[in-house]
Amino acid sequence: MSSLLLSGNESIAQGAYEAAVGFASGYPGTPSSEILATLSELTGVPVQWAPNEKAALEAGLGAALAGARALVTMKHVGLNVAADPLFTAAYTGVEGGLVVVTADDPGMHSSQNEQDNRHYAFAAGIPMLEPTDSQEALEFTRRAFELSEQFDIPVLVRTTTRLSHTKCVVDPGTPPQLQRTYEPTEDSVKYVMIPAHARQRHANLLERISDLTAVSNQGPFNRIQPGEARLGIIASGIGYQFAREAVPDASFLKIGMPFPFPTELVKQFANSVDRLVVFEELDRVIEQQVRAAGIECGAKPDSMLAGELSPDAAERVILGGTSPPSTSAVSVPGRPPVMCGGCPHRAVFYILKKLGAYVTGDIGCYTLSVLPPLEILQTCLCMGAGVGQAHGISQVYTGDRPIVAVIGDSTFVHSGITGLINMVYNQSSATVVILDNRTTAMTGGQNHPATGLNLRGEPAPELDLPGLCRAVGADQVQVVDPYDLKQLEQSLREATETDQLSVVIARRPCVLIADKEAGTLELDTEACVACGMCLDLGCPALVQDNNTEERCPEIHSSLCNACGVCVQICPRDALKII
C-alpha cells in the first residue's frame, strides 16, 4: 500500500484496523474524537459512541472477554470516569487484546485541566505506550494489541494534542488477517473479583509487570539512538520531536514505553554520556524514575510544568539558554472564543441573567457564557457536576436567588442522569436546564443516545429526555424552543419560582448541523435608539458600530443565522428579518 498523510488520530485508527480490531467504543472528547470516526470508515465491525467512558471501557472489556480485540478511546479526563473498571481490569486481565487510548491535552486547548495520564499506568500497573509521531501511532497501536494478548493485560496508549492532530507521512501495513470465533470465557477465579480471587490476581499482576519490565528494557519501544557522547537526552512523545529538532547531534534514549519503566536501559544510557537531560511533557514522570534509580539529570524548570512544550523550550532546557529563541513564530490577532451566531443556548443565558439566577455549569460550548457580555456562569468543574453542585447549594442556601444547573444533552446522558436522580431522591428545589442541541457540539458534532442516530449516522433508538426525567421522578418537566423568547422566559420563570425540583429542556438543533433560518437580518437605523440591548446578547453577528460612540449595532451578515432572538429583544422594532 502506498504512503498516506495521516494525523495521529487517523494513524491509531489505521493501526487498530491492521490489528483486526473486532469492537471499538468511546466517548467523544477533543483531542481523541476523530479516532472512532476514522475507524468506522475502515471497517464494518461494531464501532460505537457510548454514553460515557466507563460504559465504553466496560463494553470493551466484555468484547475482549469473548476473544475480540477491542479499542476504547477517550480524552484524558475521560479516563477518570473509566478508572474504576480500568484498575480492576489490570487484575483480571483480558482474553482478546484490549487497548485504551488516552488523549492528553497539554495547554488545555479544550479541557478543564491538563493532567498527565502517565500516572495512571504507574498507579494501575498497566503498560503504556507513547508514540512520537503518526507512524509510531500506527505501529504502537498494532503492537499494543499483541502486547495485551501476550501478557493478558489492558494496554494504555497515550497521545497528546499535537500528536493527535499533526499529520505526517505514514507507511501503512497489510490488511488484517486475524480470524477468530468469539465465545465468552468462563473462568470465575480470574474474572469474579471477590477478595479471595482478587488477592490471587494481584499477585499475578505483579508477575506480569515483572515480565513486561524485560520488554521495556530490551525494546522495541524504548531505544537508544547513539550520537555525541557529551550530551544524552531522555525524551518521550512530542517532546522527543522538539528535542531532536533543537539538538539533532545529541545521543537520545527515546522512551516509548514509560511503564514498566526501563531502569536498566536508562542506567546503560546514562553511563554512555557525559551529561544527561530529561525532556518530557507534562509532569516529571520520567525524571522522577531516573532520580529514583540514583542517576543525576538535568530537567525542565517548574515554570514548564504547565502548558505545551516547544522547540524553543527544548533549547532553553537542554542548552541552558545559550541558543536564542526562534523568530519564526507568526503573530496573529487574538480571537477569543464565542458561541456561534444563532446559538440556541445564548437566549437561555440571557433570560437567566435577567432573572438573576445563580447558574452552575458544565462542560460544553455553553461554558462560554462565563465571558462578557453574558457573564452568568458561576461554576464549571467536570461532566455532570453542575447538576450536583446546584443540588448542594439548594440544600443550604437561604436566599431567594434561583439556583439553576445548565447541562448539554450529551453531557446529561454522560453523567447528569444520576445527579438528577439524587435531586429527586433528596427533594431538591433547584432547576435543571438541559440545553438540547441534538448533538455533541463542542467535540465536533458527534451523535449520542438522544439524537436518534448512531456513530455511523444510521437510525438508532432515541432516548426520550422528557420521559426519562419524568421516569426518575421529576414531575415538573417542560420542553421549550429557545428561539421563542417569550415562551422561554415564561417557562424559566415558572421553573425557578417553584419550591420544587423542575426541569426545562431547551430544544433546538445546533446551528452547525441545522439548516440556516430563512431570511436576512436588517437594521432600521432611523428606528434604532442605540440602547444596546441587542448587543447584550453577545452574538458575534452583532457588534458595536465603531463609527459611533453610541451602542448602535452593526450586522455581520456572514455570521448571522437569522434566528430572530435579537429581533424579539429590540424594544423599537429596529431589527427585522427580511
Give a yes or no: residue 516 inside a domain: no
Are 129 and 49 found together in one domain?
yes
Structure-block grid coordinates of residue 74: 477517550
Are 502 and 538 found together in one domain?
no
Closest CA to 279 of 237, 321, 248: 237
Q: How far apart are CA 502 and CA 494, in angstroms?
A: 9
* pLDDT tens for the chain, residues 1 to 578: 799 999 999 999 999 999 999 999 999 999 999 999 999 999 999 999 999 999 999 999 999 999 999 999 999 999 999 999 999 999 999 999 999 999 999 999 989 999 999 999 999 999 999 999 999 999 999 999 999 999 999 999 999 999 999 999 999 998 878 888 999 999 999 999 999 999 999 999 999 999 999 999 997 999 999 999 999 999 999 999 999 999 999 999 999 999 999 999 999 999 999 999 999 999 999 999 999 999 999 999 999 999 998 999 999 999 875 444 444 556 677 777 899 999 999 999 999 999 999 999 999 999 999 999 999 999 999 999 999 999 999 999 999 999 999 999 999 999 999 999 999 999 999 999 999 999 999 999 999 999 999 999 999 999 999 999 999 999 999 999 999 999 999 999 999 999 999 999 999 999 999 988 889 999 999 999 999 999 999 999 999 987 777 899 999 999 999 999 999 999 999 999 99
Are 486 and 384 found together in one domain?
yes
Which domain CATH number covers 564?
Answer: 3.30.70
Range of the domain at 444: 344-507
Residue 268's Cα: distance from chain center in Å? 38
Give a yes or no: residue 545 inside a domain: yes
Residue type, 201: R
Name the DSSP letter for residue 137: H
Give a yes or no: residue 327 inside a domain: no
Our count of domains for the chain comes to 4
In DSSP notation, 463-483 reads P-HHHHHHHTT--EEEEE-TT
pLDDT for the residue 337: 85
Strand partners, 504: 433, 478
| Domain end (from 217, 246, 272) | 217
pLDDT for the residue 327: 46
Query: In which element (H, E) is residue 363 found?
Result: none
Are 568 and 429 found together in one domain?
no
Are 38 and 153 found together in one domain?
yes
Give a yes or no: residue 336 inside a domain: no
Give a yes or no: residue 512 inside a domain: no
| Domain end (from 197, 217, 237) | 217
- Coil/strand/helix, residue 510: coil
Are 305 and 357 found together in one domain?
no
| Domain end (from 217, 241, 265) | 217
Which domain CATH number covers 243?
Answer: 3.40.50.920
Are 548 and 572 found together in one domain?
yes
pLDDT for the residue 518: 87
Give a yes or no: residue 332 inside a domain: no
Burial of 263 (0-12, 13-18, 19+ CB in 10 A): middle
Are 385 and 494 found together in one domain?
yes
Give a yes or no: residue 482 inside a domain: yes
What are φ and ψ of residue 182, in 5° steps? -90, 130
Bridging pattern class, strands 98-104 and 155-160? parallel
Bridging pattern class, strands 23-26 and 47-49? parallel
Q: How far apart are CA 254 and CA 4, in angstroms?
A: 24
Give a yes or no: residue 447 inside a domain: yes
pLDDT for the residue 335: 73
Are 49 and 127 found together in one domain?
yes
Would the CA dihedral through 465, 469, 475, 477 be positive or negative? negative
Are 369 and 248 found together in one domain?
no
pLDDT for the residue 321: 55
Are 282 and 365 found together in one domain?
no
Are 95 and 191 found together in one domain?
yes
Which domain CATH number covers 101?
Answer: 3.40.50.970
